[in-house]
Amino acid sequence: MSARPHPAHAAFHAHDWLHGIIADLATPFHARGGLDLLTFARLCERQVCAGASAVVVGDTIGEGDTLTEDERMTLIRTAVGIARGRLRVVASAGSNCTARAIAWTRMAQAAGADAAMSVVPYYNKPTADGIAAHFHAILDATTLPVILHDAPTRCVRALADDTIIDLAASFRVIGLRDDSGDASRLARLRPLLPPGFRLLTGQDATSLPYLLSGGDGVVSAIANVAPQLCRGMYVAAQKGCPRYATTISDMLMPLAEALSPEQVSSAVKHALSLRGLGHAAVRLPRVTLDDAGQRVVERAMEAIWAWPDEAT
């Protein structure tokens, strides 16, 4: 790995909006399985009211792997319509098929998204060279800004540091969502990347240590449920108030721990249903939480109910 930061296009990596607690939005469904756009619009508006800088549409929590192309387009357009310039919309556009990832990135741009989130190809286990070629093909064939998504536990393959540094030479690669769980990666990568390149974690349970260590933000499941608290934690961390940020983090931690990777969408949906924000329905092969899982989420919500801004 190079010992010096890559200088190419450093000045163009200034995407000041890509920071803070960014909700990986759930996709609400009616009990019969169709999109519940009214509830989705409410979820978007809650993020605006909480002062979020952006939302992610159709990704992990949003069950993007079960959405049709028409549904993807509808969700992005709905989010863009609600945002109206008040926050940015990041559309999930990743696939293990490079041609499909290109098509979805183009579709996201046509629908009005501000950036695309593109995950490492999953299932087919590409080599490091194949992963790099996949992303370069997307960049060569599209014009939308791209946020890389490294999710090795879901994709089997990881995004190597050298590949990130190589891709960051493009001014259109504006950040990384890092779900690797590697606590040392932030400090290791920061000096090797352009100054405006944004480093985000996708893990709620370690979000505060990540922010206090200089991370730019969190792509968060919990922010669906408690956007005001999440925003408060981020602001406290940024303003140098770690004790206050820790108090909020402690309130959120039971819910973060209740969001198991295997049923994270189902757990978020159940928590939202407790707030009157849609039905708990998920699409197969996901299933709703069993009684024991519901009780875990309900107990975790007790601390959040006590916070006035999160009571409704």
- The reply to whether omega before 285 is within 30° of 0 (cis) is yes
Return contacts of 30-36, CB within 8 angstroms, 24+ apart: 30/279, 30/281, 31/279, 31/281, 33/281, 33/283, 35/71, 35/74, 35/75, 36/278, 36/279
219 is in an annotated binding site: yes
Q: Which of 96, 91, 98, 20 is nearest to 52 (CA)?
A: 20
Q: Which residue has the tokens 């800088």?
A: 53
Q: Which residues pair with 56 in a beta bridge?
A: 24, 90
**CA nearest neighbour of 221 among 250, 245, 247, 257:** 257
**DSSP 8-state secondary structure symbol assigned to residue 29:** B
Query: Residues forming the annotated binding site for pyruvate?
Result: 219
Query: Residues forming the annotated binding site?
Result: 219
